Every structure is written in structure tokens, then in C-alpha cells.
Amino acid sequence: MKPFTQHQGLVAAMDRANVDTDQIIPKQFLKRIERTGFGEFLFWDWARLDDGTPDPEFELNHPAVQGASVLLARRNFGCGSSREHAPWSLEDYGFRVIVAPTFADIFYNNCFKNSMLPIRLPEAVVDDLFSRSAQHEGYELTVDLEAHTLSDAHGFTATFEVDPHRRHCLLNGLNDIGLTLQHEAKITAFEATQN
Amino acid sequence: MTSQPRTLFEKIWDQHVVHAEEGRQAILYIDLHLVHEVTSAQAFEGLRLEGRQVRRPERTVATADHNVPTSDRSLPILDPISKQQIDTLRTNCQEFGVTHYDLNDPRQGIVHVIGPELGYTQPGMTIVCGDSHTSTHGAFGALAFGIGTSEVEHVLATQTLLQDKPKTLELRVDGLLGSGVTAKDLILYLIGQITTEGGSGYAVEYTGETIRALSMENRMTVCNMSIEGGARAGMIAPDETTYDYLRGRQFAPSDYQSAVEAWRQLPTDDGAKYDKSLSFAASEIAPQVTWGTNPGLVTSVDDTVPKPDDFADATERRTAADALTYMGLRGGEAITDLKLDRVFIGSCTNARIEDLRAAAAVAKGRQVSSHVSAMVVPGSGLVKQQAEEEGLDRVFTEAGFDWREAGCSMCLAMNPDKLAPGERCASTSNRNFEGRQGKGGRTHLVSPAMAAAAAIEGRFVDIREWE
């Protein structure tokens, strides 16, 4: 996994609550057996008109947010299915950071396994970020995971919380399985107590 | 020695922690790992790339369900990508020594139906699967939750999972459900009350006399939809109903009496504290019908579709307005005026034998409306077999329902069963998200009896008054 330490990037705002994983990556793309290449299918049903061409009204199709790597979202982002194809598609599309008031648990977990940082901030702060991104053309945010800060070039700074172990893994690009297997003797001992 | 009173969740959690240290997620041992074709291929590939084995193949059980056709099984699978995914699961299971219930096995079915049915699912276990409806197994007093594919790989390799300890939420329901009101109505009502993120960060325990009175099938329906209320896990303490259900099943413990004695220690102790408790009265619950595009957007069948202005919060207003547009509704319509094009009876929520009996009791001797196409998809090969022994298949087919092979089918429409754009469907499944049952399709979630009655009338009816 590639490490995540700092990131500065263009913000795309998605002003909808309860964005579910069926929208992020519709089921017709879950049949693939690879882990890569899902980016082009991101938000497929929302991003395309009936004839398959891009819908110019869709948030992520606006010319001003092309190349965005920070997604600003509303509460309960990523609810629904456990499909890791959702973070795979967001990551493959180019997102490294998602900011929202709340995330669905499984999706939140899945992001960390894919070098993506989901940041939870109070609703009022997220409201402020939505106004800022509407105000400033080409609005960017900067994340410093080491310092737990999110900031912009116009005086905004917020600190965020993230579980210390997950932070450590992201900062160092560590894979969970390797870490867990450092405790293999304990797993074996545990198994010996089971009938 | 006296110990602190503990909840059901805490007992199972404590029993499975392999390693815990401050500031880290716990390493939790996993007793049973259920695997299906859609979320496992990349995990097996990960093992292969690292030269790892499945640590405990005997604790791992696989079946294909999401993608499988529900038409004649003797015919080839037409979609080459679906076929490849199903074939890949078979090859992976052979290579890594994992038990696999293949399409031609009568025990194949939806993973959350076959786990309990075959007796794999047992009280006190930790159970995971790369599927959010794994919460279903909590009905047996197990700690069961959905995981992503990276975690599937982690469990395959280590038989453990890294977990934050969730908080506990008690959802208590007392009193008796009215006639025509089912477990599906109960859970839809609860989600409507707590919202789709009300359970986020919690392991839910359902308690109270209403829950105790439910059959195992009904308990599974309740726990199944815990995730739709944001909770990864939903559980119900085991009792005689649980022990009676499991007795004699193929993979139930051989020394059953000792197992039951151990399981009797699991229920929450008197005086144990939940982080949060909410109480509800069963008498308040009417048959439920969702009107929007998440399961929390739900109302009683005798009510009307709400209007955006009924919501105080700006985000909720926007959500309601978007949902109404997608659903082709204005707000203010009586639920019983909504006309249907399709009816789907199936899914890991409502495709067990009791669900099919409830639907068949409604359908018996009647005819599906001429403008409705209705299908029944049993949850497993064994459910299908039993239904056929009871003659339910004939009840359905004589009434004009299509009787299919087992699988997830039109719950998520990964296989050929799907809605056309604009079609309105009464569905016994668990998600009414946009496009869930087919792009542009409009899903209303209901109980099996309500779905069957809707198929016959061609619109929703209040099952309590319907003759």
C-alpha cells in the first residue's frame, strides 16, 4: 500500500446525504475479478445520460473539478453494501481524501485499506467547507496526516481525529495482514484453547 | 468470584479477543467465514501473490449467490463475466481447500440463508462475510458483520480481523405485533425511527417480548436489516427457539446438549448496561411500505407519501425531494393508490420457508393482476425443495407467479432479473436505493404477505383489511 502523509488537492463537492455504495459503483461493475480499473465506472448511473454520454449536470462532470482529489460530502457517505469496489473506484478515479460529517462503518474501514483518508468533521465545519468551495474557483484543501490538520489557502484550519493505528498504517503504507501475523503465536495459542 | 454483568455482545467479544493493546484495533478471532463470488476473487488473488494459504479452510464456507441465474440451471450462464466470476470461486475453493456449495448442489443458496439452514451458524460465534447482510446471523446470538475484500483476505490468511470495539445499542420492543404485522414491518419501522445511520458505530441487541416471540426466520429478517439502520451487527440472545431450530441440522454440534448448556450462558446478564437503549411498542407498528430511496424513508400502509416540506432539516428536505423525483411521486399520494408493475419475493431478508408460506397463504386461489409481473425466488435449494414438498410452488404458479431457482436475484439485479427504467416494484428485499433493482427501477420494500397481496391487487393494500 502506498503511504499517505500529506496531500493537497482540488475539491469536488457532492451536496447529497446518504450516498450509498450502489451509486458509487453500480452492481453491473462488480463482476470483474480484478482490483483495478474501476475509476471509469465511478457514479456511473449519476454521471451518464441514458445514451451513455456524460451528464453535464452531474457534480463530478463540471470542468472546474476535473482532476479533483478531495471529495467533500454529506452525512452517512458510503452507506449500504460492503463492496470494497466503492473505495477502489474512488481511489482509481483519483480521490485520496473524503471529508464528510459521518461515514458508514464498513466504507470508512475499507478506505484505510486503500490509501484513502476519510475525514470526519462536525456538520457546521463541513457546511463552511461547502460554502468555501462554492466561493473559490479551483478550491483546494491540504491535509497533513502527521499533524491531523485540514486547511485551505484562505484561512481555514481544522483538526481531525483518526485512530492511531490506522494513522500509523497509512503514514507508513503498512499492510494489516503482515502486522497481524507478527502476533501469529498468539493466534495459534488461542486456537489451542478452542475445541 | 463475582464478575461485572455483561451484555451478549461483550461476552462474545471478550471470548474472541486474541490480542488487545491501547491505541490499536483488537485482533478478533473469527469462528466462521462465509464467502461468495463477488467479494472474494481479489482476496484469493492477494493470498496467491503473497504465497499464503487459507489458515482455517474448515472454518470457511463458500457458495455462489449474487450473480447466479435463477432460470433453468441445466442451461449455460449467458453472461461471460458472471460465468467467469462463478468459475473463479470454484477454482479458488478447489485450490485453497475450501468447502463450496456449487450451483448443482441442492444446498446452494444465498449465503445468509444456507449458513443457518445447514447449522454452520451457531450462538456465541464470530461470523464474517464480504457482504453487509452478514448481520443476519446475529439472530442466533452470534456476533456477525459484513467486511470488505481486504478484510476477507485478512481473515483467509489469519482467521482474525482487526476491529474497533463498537458501542452497544439496545432496541427493545414490547407487546404483541398486530395481525398482519410481521418482523419485516417491525424492522422497517425501527429503521424509520432511528434513521439509516442511527445504528452507526453500534452493535445492536434486539430485546423485549416482541422479539422473544419471533420465530428464527423472523429474527433473521430483523437482524438482516440492522445494516440498513447503520449498525454492522444486530443480535438476539439465544433461547429455546434458537436451540430447537438448530437441533439436528447437518453441521450443528454433535454433542448438542453440552453445546446448549454453554449457549445458555450467553444472554445479557441482569444489570448489564448498554451504551444506549431505546424502547418501542409493538402496538404502534402497522404494515410498512418504503416510499423513498433509502430504507429509512418508510411509512405505514394506511398513510400518505410525505412531501419535502414535511421535513424540518434542509438536508432531509433535499433528500426527500430527490427521492420523490426518482420514485415518480409528488408527495401526498395514499400508499394504497400506488400501482405496481412488478413484485419480487426473495432475498436474504425474506426468502426462507416461513416467508414463502406467508406469501403463498395470500396468493392461494387468487390471480396476479394482469398488469403485474411477479416472481418468487427461494433463498436456497433446500428452501425450494421444502416449498415444493409443501406444494407452495403450485400455489404460486397457479396464481401466476414465476417460480425460480435460488439466488440473490432481483434484490440487487446482478443477474438477468432486473427492473426496466420507471417500473414500480413491491419487493421483500432490503434496499430501495436508486437503481438497486435495475437502472431507473422504483423499489418499495414490504413484507412477503404485503408483496403477495400487492401482486394480486396490482397496487398496495392494507393486509389487515384485505379479503
Q: Helix A105-112 crosses helix B149-158 at what angle (to 10 degrees)?
A: 70
CA dist B183 to B121, B186, B269, B427, Å? Answer: 20, 5, 25, 15
Would you say the pTM of this structure is higher than 0.95? yes
Cα R_g (chain A), whole angstroms: 18
Q: Which residues of B, range 82-141, sit inside 8 Å of A by Cβ?
A: 82, 84-85, 88, 130-132
Which residues in chain A touch residue B197, judged by CB atoms under 8 angstroms apart?
A: 18, 75-76, 79, 102, 104
> How many Å apart are CA B158 and CA B153, to the nearest integer?
8
Distance CA B71, CA B65 (A): 13
Torsion sign over Cα B457, B364, B71, A45: positive
pLDDT at B138: 98
In chain B, which residues have their Cβ closer than 8 Å to the Cβ of A104?
A: 197, 200, 230
| A98: pLDDT strictly greater than 60 | yes
Chains A, B: CB contacts under 8 A, how many?
162
The C-alpha atoms of residue B238 and residue B6 are separated, in whole angstroms, by: 15
Which residues from A are below 8 Å from B432, CB to CB? none
Q: What is the pLDDT of residue A1?
A: 85
Judged by a CB distance cut-off of 8 A, whether residue B146 touches chain A is yes
Rounded to an integer, what distance in angstroms lies between the CA atom of residue B66 and that of residue B407? 6
Element (H, E) at B156: helix B149-158
Q: What DSSP element (H or E) covers A169?
A: helix A164-172
Q: Which residue of B has its CA nearest to A164?
A: B23
Q: Calculate mean pLDDT across residues A43-48.
A: 96
- Look up residue A75 and give its three cell numbers: 452525512
Mutate to test the interface with A, among B112, B150, B255, B347 (most CBs of A within 10 A): B150
At residue B1, the pLDDT reads 47
3 state SS of B3: coil
Instruction: Please state, in angstroms and rounded to a whole number, the distance separating the CA atoms of residues B430 and B188.
Output: 9
Backbone angles phi, psi at B160, to 5 degrees: -135, 170
Say whether B431 and A22 touch across the interface (CB within 8 A).
Answer: yes
Signed CA dihedral, B238, B242, B244, B246: sign only: negative
- Chain B from 188 to 247: CB within 8 A of any A CB: 196-197, 200-201, 227, 230, 232
Mark yes or no for CB contact A102/B197 under 8 Å: yes
Residue B75 pLDDT: 83
**CB–CB contact A177 B50 (8 Å):** yes
Residue A79 Cα, gap to closest chain B Cα (Å): 7
**Which chain A residues touch B55 with a CB distance below 8 Å?**
187
Closest-CA distance, B110 to chain A, in angstroms, reads 15
Report CA-CA distances (Å) from B167 to A94, B231, B269, B411: 34, 10, 17, 30
Going from the C-alpha of A102 to that of each of A98, B278, B358, the distances in angstroms are 10, 21, 38
- Residue B238's pLDDT is 98
SS3 B172: strand
Across the interface, whether the CB atoms of B148 and A113 are under 8 A apart is answered yes
Q: Does B15 touch chain A (CB under 8 A)?
A: no
Test B29 with A187 for CB contact under 8 angstroms: yes
Indicate the average pLDDT of chain A.
96
> Contact A45/B434, CB-based, under 8 Å?
yes
User: CA of A16 to nearest chain B CA: how many angstroms apart?
Assistant: 7
Cell numbers of B349, please? 431478508
**B303, amino acid identity:** D
**Which residues lie closer than 8 Å to B335 by C-beta, 6 or more apart?**
B289, B291, B299, B300, B301, B302, B303, B304, B305, B460
Can you give the pLDDT of all 467 residues of chain B as single tens digits?
A: 458 999 999 999 999 999 999 888 999 999 999 999 999 999 999 999 999 999 999 999 999 999 898 988 888 888 888 999 999 999 999 999 999 999 999 999 999 999 999 999 999 999 999 999 999 999 999 999 999 999 999 999 999 999 999 999 999 999 999 999 999 999 999 999 999 999 999 999 999 999 999 999 999 999 999 999 999 999 999 999 999 999 999 999 999 999 999 999 999 999 999 999 999 999 999 999 999 999 999 999 999 999 999 999 988 999 999 999 999 999 999 999 999 999 999 999 999 999 999 999 999 999 999 999 999 999 999 999 999 999 999 999 999 999 999 999 999 998 889 999 999 999 999 999 999 999 999 999 999 999 999 999 999 999 999 87
The whole-angstrom distance between A159's CA and the closest CA on chain B is 19
Determine the pLDDT at residue A56: 96
